[in-house]
Amino acid sequence: MEYAFCILLLMTIYPYALYPLMVYGWTRVVNRKWRTSAYQPMITLIISVYNEEKVIKAKIENALALDYPKDLLEILVVSDGSTDGTHDIVASFSDPRVRLLAFERAGKTACLNRAVLQAKGDIIVFTDANSMFPAQALGMIARNFADQEIGLVTGWTKYRRPGSDLEETPGLYARLEKIIKQGESLVSSCVGADGAIFAVRRELYRHLEDYDINDFVIPLNAVDQNRRVILDPEVYCLEEPSEGMGREYARQVRITNRTLGAIRRNTRFLNPFKYGSFAFFLLSHKVLRFMVPFFAFGSLLTSLLLMSAGLCYVLVFAMLCLFILAGIAGLLGLNHSRLVKLCATFLLTSLAQAKGWFRFISGRTDTLWTPRR
């Protein structure tokens, strides 16, 4: 049981502490920086929407104001069966670059499949209605595709409250995710993309199943075609911070459920003999991270059972209990210190991942999406 305790505790901290350090050390040995240069291909910007009448006008205005040649930009607003005023708002724009593709309710991924078939761009940029781009975003994305080895480019999300020019400092989880993806990109390819801002060569886009999570499977398909998937730290979008733990919990449940399904259908990417370092990244970044709730519970249980074997187990059990209590306090809004927020984020994520596993094992798949603004 002592061996089990050590392994479980090690695997609990591995995805969030040891793995990032390993990736950082790896980049000290292998640093495959890609080539960037002035490059302006035809770009299709795909904006996925479902009942986005509150934000779609601002999003289209933001897209039209981007600093990119007008004759090289196409804007497709792809509606997954919107029933509010979204279609009318899109139709009110007379700019020929803007086109509405209105489909029956089938899920975001199903609509993307149909939209890409009608896209004219050599590069397809995917984004959401509430994600605003800085003026230079498309140019920053395009420069990476000057290197023919690059198949997909992802950015990251910054947050800013409405009416404010001050950007909020990303949470520790978001900062850690960015650091990990930067390191993975310098070694070979990063795992997954930020659904609010990522781009792929149109020639690499493969038809997705309706249940596929597009910002995870599209990057996998690019890797499968011997192209690199990279995060450019200078490519980002701006969103309003989400309000409420409930929405974040539901989002994490949905992500876990759909990503686990995608991993099950794409287990070949875990073969290091074919996919090299990327297989290790996928195992560490996704598979083992999603198993942390079980590792953490196992650590708590074994430390409890081993308390009579030594003081160290008593201390570990007490620390784990304090961590959980601090997380609960953070979720209830009783304390707002950084440490408590960290505990709350970890606890929320772990609970959501556990439920995501339950939905996955029970065969439930989240296909439809309902953005909450």
Query: 164-179, pLDDT tens digit by residue?
Result: 666 766 677 888 999 9
Query: Which DSSP category does 119 fall into?
Result: -
| Mean pLDDT, rounded, of the chain | 93
- State the pLDDT at residue 166: 67
Mean pLDDT of 88-99: 97
Whether pLDDT at 102 is above 60: yes
**Which tens digits make up the pLDDT trace of 268-314?**
999 999 999 999 999 999 999 999 999 999 999 999 999 988 899 99
Q: Where in the sequence of the chain do the CATH 3.90.550.10 domains occur?
A: 43-241
User: What pLDDT was estimated at residue 9?
Assistant: 95
- Position 337 scores a pLDDT of 85
> Are the CB atoms for 227 and 152 separated by under 8 Å?
yes
Give the pLDDT confidence score for residue 204 in this predicted structure: 98
Give the pLDDT confidence score for residue 335 in this predicted structure.
81
The larger pLDDT score, comparing residue 339 to residue 191, is at 191
Label residue 179 exposed, middle or buried (CB < 10 Å: 0-12, 13-18, 19+): middle
Mean pLDDT, to the nearest integer, of 139-154?
98
pLDDT of residue 169: 63
Give the model's pLDDT for residue 185.
98
- The pLDDT of residue 247 is 82
Six-digit token string for 247: 């929405």
Report pLDDT digits (tens) over 307-334: 988 899 999 999 999 999 999 999 888 8
- Give percent above pLDDT 70 in the chain: 96
**Which residues have C-beta within 8 Å of that of residue 76, sequence separation ≥ 6?**
44, 45, 46, 47, 99, 101, 115, 118, 119
Q: What class is the 43-241 domain?
A: alpha beta
Residue range 115-121: mean pLDDT, rounded: 97
Rounded to 5°, the CA angle 13-16-19 comes to 90
Whether 137 has a pLDDT exceeding 70, the answer reads yes
pLDDT of residue 296: 96
Output the pLDDT for position 251: 87
Does the pLDDT of residue 373 top 60, yes or no?
A: no
The pLDDT assigned to 372 comes to 60
Q: 29: burial class by Cβ within 10 Å (0-12, 13-18, 19+)?
A: exposed
Whether residue 243 has pLDDT greater than 70 = no
